[in-house]
Every structure is written in structure tokens, then in C-alpha cells.
Amino acid sequence: MRMKTKLAVGALCLLSTFAAGLLVRGLIAPNSLDPVSSVHAQEPGSRRCSTRTLKGAYGIKFEGQKINFGLFVSVSRITFDGEGHFTTNEIGRFNGELVQRSFTGPYIVNDDCTGFLDFSSNLSDPPHEAHGDFVIVNNGQEFFIVDNEEGWAANGVGKKL
């Protein structure tokens, strides 16, 4: 019986010490016992993007067609400078013919991670201004893009290298 009493007294002392520590901590830093007080949940869809979200080199696989003319497929390396300008080196096939080109242009990124880019395309004679709309996904590691020119049905996926 004496052993059980010693164990009970020891456990009670340990529990009392722990409770006293919590009480003193609560008096010194009243909200420090609330582990959620410093955590803020991000609202769904609240991710914010800017031109800096797209910075660095990405690989793009792009495919589609110019309506009533022919198929287009390509792979590209596109580099965004994080300040609204990009450079692309592309190789592919347009209606079976080899296409190898480089081009540059501006890009815009909206707060909601959508955006667009523009460039002068030499796939037609004379060259024309091309417009692509995109959405950034995976925290800037990828983007989906669609060619939004009249007469085109083409899209691609860009992945950070």
C-alpha cells in the first residue's frame, strides 16, 4: 500500500506542476495557449499572381490547327523575365512543314492567375499578331495556354524546367 501512495503522490505532484505552469503561462501570455490564433486559413481562390509568378524557363508542348488549313504541333522553351517580357525558341510542324522560330513579346498576369501574351507570328505571309490566353497553376510551376486568334484551335501546357 505504501508504494501505491508514493506513486499517487508523485503523479499528483507532477500534474500540479504541469497545471501551475499552464496557469502562469496563461497569465504572462494570455493567448499563447490557443494554437490556432496565429494561423490564418487562405480563402479558396485567394491565390494572388503577378508577372513575377512566371519567371524563368518553361517547356511547352503545343498542338492544334488553323481551321481549313492544317495541323500545328510544336515544343518550345519559353523564358519569362518576371517583369512582363518573354522569349521563345520553338520547333515543330505546321501542315507537315518544318517550323523553327524564335520570338519575343509582352505578357500580362492578373491577380487571379490568368493572363495573356502577344507576339508577331510568322506562320502566315505576311506575319500577324498572335494572342494567347493562359492560366497559371501549381503555384507557378505550370500554365495552360490557348491560342485565341481568329481561325485557330490550339492549346498547350507549359511546365517549369
User: Phi and psi (nearest 5°) for 87?
Assistant: -135, 135
Q: Please write the tens of the pLDDT for every residue from 61-107.
A: 999 999 998 999 999 999 999 999 999 999 999 999 999 999 999 99
Check: pTM over 0.85? Answer yes or no: no
Q: Please write the tens of the pLDDT for every residue from 33-53.
A: 443 333 333 345 567 999 999
Closest CA to 136 of 57, 43, 45, 54: 54
Phi-psi region for residue 71, left (φ > 0), alpha (ψ -120 to 50) or beta?
A: beta
Pick from 112, 114, 116: nearest CA to 147 = 116
| Beta pairing class for 97-109 and 55-66 | unpaired
The 3-state secondary structure of 55-100 reads EEEEEEEEEEEECCCEEEEEEEEEEEECCCEEEEEEEEEECCEEEE
Q: Is the peptide bond before 127 cis (omega within 30 degrees of 0)?
A: no
Given a contact cutoff of 8 angstroms between Cβ atoms, the answer to whether 75 and 91 are in contact is yes
pLDDT tens for residues 100-150?
A: 999 999 999 999 999 999 998 887 778 788 999 999 999 999 999 999 988
Average pLDDT over residues 5-13: 47
